Structure 1
Amino acid sequence: MKKPARYVSKFRPAVLLESKLQKGKGNTMRTMGPAKVQLPPPDKYLKKHSKEPKLPEKTDSSKDPCDTHFCTTRKPAIPARTEQPLMGIPAKKDFKETSMTVPKKPEPVKVDTNQGHRELLENSGLVPKYVMKNDYGKTPVYLQKRKEAEQKAQEDDRLEREEREHRVIQRLPDEERQAVLEALKKEWDTYMQMYQRTPFLVETLSQRAHKIELEKRMDELEKKISLIERFKTIYIANEEVSHCGGHL
Structure 2
Amino acid sequence: MILFCVGVDRCSVKSKVKPDIPTEPPKYGLGGNQDWIKVNAVKVIKTKANKTGCPKKKRRYVTKKNYGKLPVYLETRIRTAAEIKKRDSPEEQAKCRHDGTRKLDEKERMEMVNNLKLKWAHTNAAYQKLSFVLDTNSKKLRKERFERNLTNIEKDVTLLCRKVVLVSDSAPAKIRQESTGSMH
TM bucket, shorter chain: 0.3 to 0.5
State the TM-score, normalizing by the size of structure 2.
0.39
Higher gyration radius (CA): 1
More helix by share: 2
State the TM-score, normalizing by the size of structure 1.
0.29
Query: Using CA pairs below 8 Å that are at least 6 residues apart, which structure has the higher relative contact order?
Result: 2
